[in-house]
Amino acid sequence: MTDPVADSVAGLLQSLGENRLAWDGDRLLARVLDCTLAQLRAFPERVVDTERLSQWRALVDRRAAGEPYAYLVGEQEFWSLTLAVGPGVLIPRGDSELLVEAALARIDSRVSGWVADVGTGSANLALALASERPRLTLLGIEASAPALAWAKLNCRRHRLKNICLIRARGLATIPERSLQALISNPPYIVEGDPDLDPATLRFEPSSALFAAESGLSLLRELAIEGLRVLKPGGWLLLEHGWTQGAAVLELLRSHGYGECRTLLDLASRPRVTLGQRQS
């Protein structure tokens, strides 16, 4: 970014030219000035002091280099929650709210018991469900130590009593027939996928993204393990890529789950597949 020539809000934003939106110039300036976007726009003549100007310039430079906005400001909204995020953990995507909606539609608010979230990351899914279903206890399972540290921070901040976290790979430590539901947004991207956003690849942890066997390895493991850890009648709910709906549906059917269905996201793409453990 070239040095801004003006030090008013309007001058700084104009200095970004056509990159203003793509580089989140307005949102970052509002953050640095500790005001809302509406306040920023209402007072374009406001003068920005040199200290804040250099803070803003440093953030815009990082944004222009591709760093995600959520990492720059250290937080991301998900469901009704503000979550702390940063390097080492996947930034929760709005798409994953479909998985929360699907779980809420199948777990009655009077039901108590355990629900596991494999690959909990920032604990976005587990916290969303824990906040909506106080009678359930959510168990967030995460293999990566840096990601688990973010999950712990978010659990402390949201002060929910019905959630706990463990560091583990998969479900080996979970007792048989102990879960009301098993949810997961596991890594499911095929390495070399040309559709993957280059910024995601550069900044977010690869252990959160990629899986072997055409992206299906952990999805398959969860379908198999789900039969052991779910109570009869318990639900398995899996997020997956939009090209994987048919394969995951077949996976669940072939392992004997009932009531199998694939749900579409707002763009009408198949993104969540679920099934119920039979007796």
Asked if residues 144 and 125 have their Cβ atoms less than 8 Å apart, the reply is no
Q: List Cβ neighbours of 89 (8 Å cut-off, separation of 6 or more).
A: 121, 122, 144, 146, 147, 150, 151, 205, 208
Shortest distance, position 98 Cβ to ligand SAM, whole Å: 11
CA dihedral 44, 48, 54, 58 (to 10 degrees): -30
- The smaller minimum CB distance to ligand SAM, of residues 187 and 215, is found at 187
Shortest distance, position 147 Cβ to ligand SAM, whole Å: 4
Which spans in 66-216 are helix H?
Answer: 69-73, 97-106, 124-132, 145-158, 198-203
| Chain position carrying tokens 């499911």 | 188
Shortest distance, position 118 Cβ to ligand SAM, whole Å: 5
- The smaller minimum CB distance to ligand SAM, of residues 34 and 195, is found at 195
Tokens of 247: 């394969």
Enumerate the β-bridge partners of residue 274: 237, 261
Residue numbers of the site for ligand SAM (CB under 6 A)?
90, 92, 96, 118-122, 124-125, 141-144, 147, 169-170, 185-187, 207-208, 218
Shortest distance, position 176 Cβ to ligand SAM, whole Å: 18
Shortest CA distance to 187 belongs to which of 159, 160, 154, 222?
222
Tokens of 123: 């604990």
| Chain position carrying tokens 């583990």 | 168
- The smaller minimum CB distance to ligand SAM, of residues 32 and 183, is found at 183
- The smaller minimum CB distance to ligand SAM, of residues 17 and 146, is found at 146
- The smaller minimum CB distance to ligand SAM, of residues 60 and 189, is found at 189
Tokens of 237: 């709910």
Shortest distance, position 35 Cβ to ligand SAM, whole Å: 29
- The smaller minimum CB distance to ligand SAM, of residues 30 and 90, is found at 90
Shortest distance, position 108 Cβ to ligand SAM, whole Å: 23
